[in-house]
Amino acid sequence: MSTHRTTHVRWFLVFWLFVLSAVSYLDRVNISIAGGSIAEAYHLSDVQLGKVFSAMLAGYAIFQTTAGRLADRFGPRRVLTAGVIWWGVFTAITALVPARISGAVLVFMLVRFLLGAGEAVIYPSANRFVASWIPVHERGIANGWIFAGVGAGAGLTPPLITYLMIHYGWRSSFWTCSVIGFLVAAVWFFVARDKPSQHDRVSPQELAHIETGLTLASDPAKNNPTDRALMVGAPRSLLSWTRVARSKEVWAATLSYFCYGYVAWIFFSWFFIYLAKVRGLNLKASAIYSMLPPLAMLVCSLLGGTLNDRLTKWKGLRLGRCILAAAAIALAGLFIALGSQVKSARMASFVLAGGAGALYLSQSSFWSLTADIAGSSSGSVSGFMNTGNQIGAAITAVLTPWIAARYGWTASFLVAAALCLLGALSWLVVNPERSLATRRDEVSFPGE
């Protein structure tokens, strides 16, 4: 009998990625809570404030591919540490913008754009870590926890930022977020390693468990020998972009994720302001009720991942990936449409939060699909898909207040509901068993 104790280092590191994910959303969403105070201090309109919001998302979207490439080349430990420090610095710079500066909108847009560029490393680096540390049959729950950090960070932001604003002013909230970022980055740098074999606290049993489960060859759900061979061999090879561009699955998922991003960022960017300005809730009440959507996202991200795995095992990939996603996104649209019509501000908050939660039931389907169809190039394909998500998010930051100013906030939510329907329908043309990973379509990069 072995005397070695089996360790679970990989799960501690997954937990810390959950923390980093939460901090990334704390630093993204803090400005939506402080936005009213910033707009008042710098005399910004909602449309101008929307441009500031969208600048971060533009930086985040543009640097997705570069961030993934850096994580592949230099490893998630160093790249993610540098990224968190980078966005911590620009979070702090947000608080340093002088009150009487001319062109405040452009200054804030530049600062937030650069913050978004730094934040672009979070999920590509996390995905690179998962590829090296997490066996295939454990990746669903691992990604579920990582993306649950979205809800945790966004959910904790309103009460934390509101408390700091009330007691110390809006600038203090950015200083605090910056310090938190530096602390979690330091912990990640000291406890993480790029590979489990490099970590002195990983037991031989855990190392063997990880290494024997890293490829699809150990996944009973993947019984195509060609796909298994591709995953085991040529880890540095990539699908040609021509092959990716010809895939209706990739375009359908990207279109759906565009709709997803548009809808999700209404909650991240505008929900707090909507409750305060449109529904008439005071600052504290707005902070409390604006926690409901991200908390629903947290719970449903984990629930959706579990349903995804169980439905896939029961009836196959089409039910587990496509039908679940289509039903969840359509349900989100129904909740959002109904919530916009409810007269009670508090009841509307719960109904709209139901829409946010339903949306996140589909989260795991997007990332699982790219792994299903892209094999060893799933990072590139998922990065392409996630760019669509961020474009949708950037558009909602500007378009939502524009629609609200001309047609009312109900119209803004109804547009989001309509996009939910489009996003749901997109999944119906997806075949999750149509693999992109064929040898003739891969291109390799010698010398890497």
CA distance 407 to 444: 52
Angle between helices 46-62 and 104-119 (to 10 degrees): 30
Give the number of C-alpha atoms closer than 13 A to the C-alpha of residue 66, restricted to the C-beta side.
11
CA distance 26 to 31: 9
> Is the per-residue pLDDT at 105 higher than 60?
yes
Across 181-195, 295-309, 314-328, 337-351, which has the greatest mean pLDDT?
181-195
> Is the per-residue pLDDT at 342 higher than 70?
yes
Per-residue model confidence as pLDDT tens digits over 240-290: 778 888 899 999 999 999 999 999 988 877 787 788 777 877 767 777 787
Whole-model pTM: value is 0.76
Give the number of C-alpha atoms closer than 13 A to the C-alpha of residue 429, restricted to the C-beta side.
14
Q: What is the pLDDT of residue 424?
A: 97
Structural domains in the chain, sorted by start: 9-214 (1.20.1250.20), 240-435 (1.20.1250.20)
Q: Chain-wide mean pLDDT for the chain?
A: 83
Per-residue pLDDT band for 233 (boundaries 50, 70, 90) equals very low
Per-residue model confidence as pLDDT tens digits over 358-368: 999 998 888 77
Per-residue model confidence as pLDDT tens digits over 182-208: 999 999 999 999 889 999 999 999 999
Quote the distance between the C-alpha of residue 59 and its chain's center.
Answer: 14
Task: Tell me how crowded residue 140 is: count the other CB atoms within 10 A of its CB.
Answer: 20
> Is the per-residue pLDDT at 210 higher than 80?
yes
> Is the per-residue pLDDT at 332 higher than 50?
yes
Q: What is the pLDDT of residue 377?
A: 66
